[in-house]
């Protein structure tokens, strides 16, 4: 066999392999997209965002609330979820969206640019994207490697979809994560060590371009859909505020979203036993926090002070 013939065969093989992979990805996209996105009757509130709300809010204690929060969730992915669920659930009137002290820090753009998160998130969310979302990933070569792995990574879902009708519950979109371990002491020790060594990263709140753009898009989507978007800053240990540029956080939100409600619960008082680490509540903390939310809801959401207390007349 001549070299030219060998190269032609190799080229044809690569073309065939590319077409087969493209067909597999498109087929997977079809199976994912045909799942039912209808939420349970009476669901009016959707919880979206990262691991802080994922671990803090237990919707089983809050009738009418469904959580699709998930660790490492960039606002881009939350926006894609919100767009689809709002479109298919006209009864939705509220979104609780995690917007914590770290949410718009410059490093958070790794959630939509790094190999780690593209590989982790794309196979579970790509079918929700519109053209603008896809353009964001188009120039990142990790995107294509991740998509090629999608049929394999979603093999359990594909097996279900070939046997029965599927719903959003089968899509691994997130939900309440019950944490039972206690790593607060280790986290605090690590933070203290970082302070002593002078290795603290300078805060750059509001510098995450992707995060800022897609938070804007979520707020506009909610506004145009008649849905109230409430930004939620869940309880954190006092050490977090000591390590964070909280002034920049509040200034940014006041300036950019003056009419968007902010539930700033970061200062609510919880014992150390309620924390998994400095930024995440464990199961005990989530139970207490969700119970407080349920109580406040039963009271018609009265104003509370920074510690979560309802002021007495």
pLDDT of 242 reads: 84
Residue 16 clears pLDDT 70, i.e. is over it: no
Under CATH, domain 40-108+175-298 is a member of which superfamily? SGNH hydrolase (3.40.50.1110)
Assign 100 a pLDDT band (cuts: 50, 70, 90): very high
Q: What is the pLDDT of residues 302-312, one digit of tens each?
A: 988 888 888 77
Percent of the chain with pLDDT over 70: 93
Angle at the Cα of 129 from the Cα atoms of 144 and 146, rounded to 5 degrees: 20
Say what the alpha-carbon torsion angle 121, 126, 127, 132 is, to the nearest 10 degrees: 140
- Residue 15: the pLDDT is 66
For residue 301, what are the CA distances in angstroms to 14, 32, 170, 308, 309?
60, 37, 33, 11, 12
3-state secondary structure of 104: coil
pTM: 0.91
**Which two three-digit tokens encode residue 37?**
């996105």
pLDDT confidence of residue 5: 72
Backbone angles phi, psi at 241, to 5 degrees: -65, -35
Q: What is the pLDDT of residues 123-136, one digit of tens each?
A: 999 999 999 999 99
- Tokens describing residue 99: 């917007």
Instruction: Kindly give, in sequence order, each residue whose CB lies less than 8 Å from that of residue 165, ignoring residues fewer than 6 positions away.
Output: 36
The Cα–Cα gap between 255 and 214 comes to: 17
């Amino acid at each position: 066999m001549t070299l030219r013939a060998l190269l032609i065969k190799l080229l044809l093989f690569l073309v065939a392999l590319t077409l087969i992979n493209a067909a597999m990805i498109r087929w997977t996209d079809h199976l994912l997209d045909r799942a039912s996105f209808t939420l349970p009757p009476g669901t009016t509130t959707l919880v979206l965002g990262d691991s802080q709300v994922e671990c803090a809010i237990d919707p089983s204690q809050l009738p009418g609330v469904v959580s699709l929060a998930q660790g490492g969730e960039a606002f881009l992915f939350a926006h894609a979820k919100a767009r689809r669920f709002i479109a298919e659930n006209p009864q939705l009137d509220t979104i609780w969206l995690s917007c914590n002290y770290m949410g718009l820090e410059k490093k958070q753009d790794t959630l939509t640019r790094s190999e780690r998160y593209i590989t982790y998130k794309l196979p579970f969310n790509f079918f929700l994207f519109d053209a603008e979302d896809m353009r964001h990933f188009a120039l990142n070569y990790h995107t294509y490697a991740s998509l090629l792995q999608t049929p394999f990574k979603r093999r359990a879902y594909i097996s279900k979809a070939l046997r029965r009708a599927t719903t959003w519950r089968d899509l691994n979109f997130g939900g309440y994560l019950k944490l039972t371990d206690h790593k607060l002491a280790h986290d605090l020790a690590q933070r203290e060590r970082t302070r002593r060594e002078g290795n603290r990263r300078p805060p750059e709140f509001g510098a995450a371009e992707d995060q800022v753009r897609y938070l804007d898009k979520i707020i506009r989507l909610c506004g145009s859909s008649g849905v109230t978007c409430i930004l939620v800053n869940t309880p954190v240990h006092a050490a977090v505020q000591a390590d964070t540029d909280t002034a920049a956080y509040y200034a940014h939100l006041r300036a950019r979203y003056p009419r968007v409600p902010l539930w700033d619960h970061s200062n609510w008082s919880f014992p150390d036993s309620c924390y998994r680490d400095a930024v995440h509540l464990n199961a005990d903390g989530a139970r207490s926090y969700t119970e407080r939310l349920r109580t406040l809801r039963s009271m018609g959401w009265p104003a509370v002070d920074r510690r979560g207390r309802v002021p007495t007349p």
